[in-house]
Chain A
Amino acid sequence: MNEQSDLIDVCAVSDVMPDMPVKADVDGVDVAVFQVDSDYYVTQDLCTHGPGSLAEGYVEGDEIECPFHQGKFSIVTGQPTAAPCNIPLKIWQVVVRDDRVCVVRQ
């Protein structure tokens, strides 16, 4: 099995910073890429509650706050952690390869 074909390249590691997530595309879906400490995470960019872009949101620790209504999600698990968000985000498994953030194709 060719492992490479299961990985989708998302962005450069240098594109993302701890309090500045970046918006990218995975197979036509907008995603938000986060750096928390030395790890990278990828979630859907569109908030599950309203038309907020999570890449435009506010990072606090390992949570992302949607700019729309300031509801929150765990960047790590995608689970909602503060109202009004109550539907989890879709997340991708991340693999960092050659200074590139990649996700495992779902």
Chain B
Amino acid sequence: MNVLHDNAVDGGVVIVGAGQAGGRAAETLRSEGFEGRVTLIGEEVERPYERPSLSKEMLLDTSVETIAWLHAPEFYAEQDIALKLGVSATAIDRNARSISLSDGSRLEYGVLLLATGARVRMLDVPGAAEHCHYVRSLEDSRALRAKLVAGKRVVVIGAGFIGLEVAAAATTRGCDVTVIEATDAPLGRVAPPLLRDYYRVLHSSHGVALRFDAQVVGMASDGDAVVVTTNTGETWPADIVVAGIGVIPNAELAQAAGLGCDRGILVDAFGATGDPRVLAAGDVARHHNPLLDRAILLESWQNAQNQAIALARNIASKGDAVPYSEIPWFWSDQYGINLQIYGLLEDDGEFAVRGDPTSDHWLMAQIRDGRIVFAAGINAARDLRPLRELMKLGAVVTRGDIEDQAIAMPELLRRARAPRSVA
């Protein structure tokens, strides 16, 4: 018995948010044979697309738009997915099981999936509203890339992944780039010191000026340019100012409807809120991850895709629901250097490093109580991949296992999977 499935068949599925998560959910409902009504509502005017290329490939090449559309425009009608774009949901009425839209209409649901994503945190200092660019939407990316002309001075505020990727793209385009970061190193608390150092060196070796421990307090026009001021009393002239200072989950709709929220919509491993008819997936969903055994919010491509697929499968299926349970995976591409990360950095544990961490090919793992909890690799996707399986298995490894280059990573996995011999 699957109540979720029955509710969906009876009342239809309404998906709020036509981004990657919403798009994948709609697609999966149909590919899994769901025949009930499916409506996909999106605030942006574009049909579903994935965001990672917006801060990478899109900014690098003006001759071609590298937009990762989920599907061709005809797909939605062909799949009988009602696509309503350029309209937002303004309220959820859980008693009436309906949502109100910004065009004045109301839509009833049997099951509601909230995939409202996140919006950029905006810099709240004088001049920012007028001068600061952000990179979140296709429109943002198109606007920025037109301006990244060789010789232009670009000031990037925030040395998180978005800031660094923009800095890399702008530098590659021939811009003169400065990155201003409030903390003492790039990548905040998501990366260990070794990785933060690697990125500091990577950017400075490409000519990017890095200013740490400085907070932007304002920006103002100076002729055609903009002058950015920090709390250190320094001023930074720029032709273009871009900020990448994080995102805020769009949980307001859920919160107003009385659903539990805490920096995101709170859901269990099945994506369910406290209301069994309302699910959430993607950047907005703070979900319980059974492998990590805690609630996490993942702003990643993998989560947007795979969580949405898992939830949609559960809706489409007449059988028992399957929990969404994956090791988080994330990547970043800067200056042609590929970083991949598995898991989430913990506060404690020892680090194992394989290869030379100042080179362009190495990996590291954080081991806690004998188990890998976090792994990262620079241009090491193939070697890193078995570590994902080791993490999923909860396999016990030693620092030496990772560091000894005589032991191949697939070999480590084979050993972990081998049945124990009976002594």
Measured CB to CB, the residues of A under 8 A from B are 19-20, 56-58, 65, 67, 69-70, 83-84
Q: With A56-B381, A56-B382, A58-B385 given, can you name 19 additional A-B contacts, CB distance below 8 Å?
A: A19-B410, A20-B410, A57-B382, A58-B382, A58-B386, A65-B385, A67-B381, A67-B382, A67-B385, A69-B301, A70-B302, A70-B329, A83-B24, A83-B28, A83-B305, A83-B306, A83-B309, A84-B70, A84-B305
Per-residue CB contact flags for chain B residues 9-46 toward chain A (1 = under 8 Å, else 0) read: 00000000000000010001000000000000000000
A40 to B302, CA, bound (A): 31
Q: When chains A and B are docked, how far (Å) is the Cα of A57 from the Cα of B410?
A: 12
Contact sample, A vs B, 15 pairs, CB 8 Å cutoff? A19-B410, A56-B381, A56-B382, A58-B382, A58-B386, A65-B385, A67-B381, A67-B382, A67-B385, A69-B301, A70-B329, A83-B24, A83-B309, A84-B70, A84-B305
State A65–B385 Cα separation when bound (angstroms). 10
For B28, what are the chain A residues with a Cβ–Cβ distance below 8 Å? 83
In the complex, what residues of A have CB within 8 A of residue B70's CB?
84
Report the Cα distance A58→B410, complex, angstroms: 10
> What residues of B have a CB within 8 angstroms of the CB of A84 in the complex?
70, 305
In the assembled complex, the CB of B70 is this many whole angstroms from the nearest CB of chain A, namely: 8
With a CB–CB cut-off of 8 A, which chain A residues contact B382? 56-58, 67
CA distance A36 to B18 in the complex (A): 39
Q: How far is the CA of A56 from the CA of B301 in the complex (A)?
A: 21
Task: Report the minimal beta-carbon distance from A85 to chain B, rounded to whole angstroms.
Answer: 12
A19 to B382, CA, bound (A): 11
Chain A nearest CB from B61 CB (Å) reads: 14
Q: Give the chain A neighbours of B381 by CB distance below 8 A.
A: 56, 67
In the assembled complex, the Cα of A90 lies from the Cα of B253 at a distance in Å of 46
Q: How far is the CA of A37 from the CA of B161 in the complex (A)?
A: 41
Q: Which residues of A contact B24 (CB under 8 A)?
A: 83
Q: A21 CA to B301 CA in the complex, in Å? A: 27
The 8 A CB mask of B291-316 against A (1 = contact, 0 = none) is 00000000001100110010000000
Separation in Å of the B31 CB from the closest CB of chain A? 9
Residues of A within 8 A of B301 (CB): 69
> Shortest Cβ distance from A61 into chain B, in angstroms?
12
A58 surroundings in chain B (CB, below 8 A): 382, 385-386
The 8 closest A-B pairs by CB, nearest first: A58-B385, A67-B381, A19-B410, A56-B382, A83-B305, A83-B309, A67-B382, A83-B24
Residues of B within 8 A of A69 (CB): 301
Give A20 to B301 CA distance when docked, in angstroms.
Answer: 27
Measured CB to CB, the closest approach of chain A to B333, in angstroms, equals 10
Closest partner residue, chain B, to A69 (CB atom) = B301
Smallest CB–CB gap between B91 and chain A, Å? 32
Chain A nearest CB: distance from B303 CB in Å? 12
B286 to chain A, nearest CB (A): 23
Q: Which of B368-416 touch A at CB < 8 Å?
A: 381-382, 385-386, 410
A69 to B333, CA, bound (A): 13
CA separation between A65 and B384, bound complex, in Å?
13
Taking CB atoms, residues of chain B closer than 8 Å to A83 are 24, 28, 305-306, 309
In the bound assembly, the distance between CA atoms of A84 and B309 in angstroms comes to 11
User: Which residues on B sit within 8 Å (CB–CB) of A56?
Assistant: 381-382
A1 to chain B, nearest CB (A): 42
- CB contacts (< 8 Å) of A57 on chain B: these are 382
- With a cutoff of 8 Å between Cβ atoms, the chain A residues found around residue B329 in the complex are 70
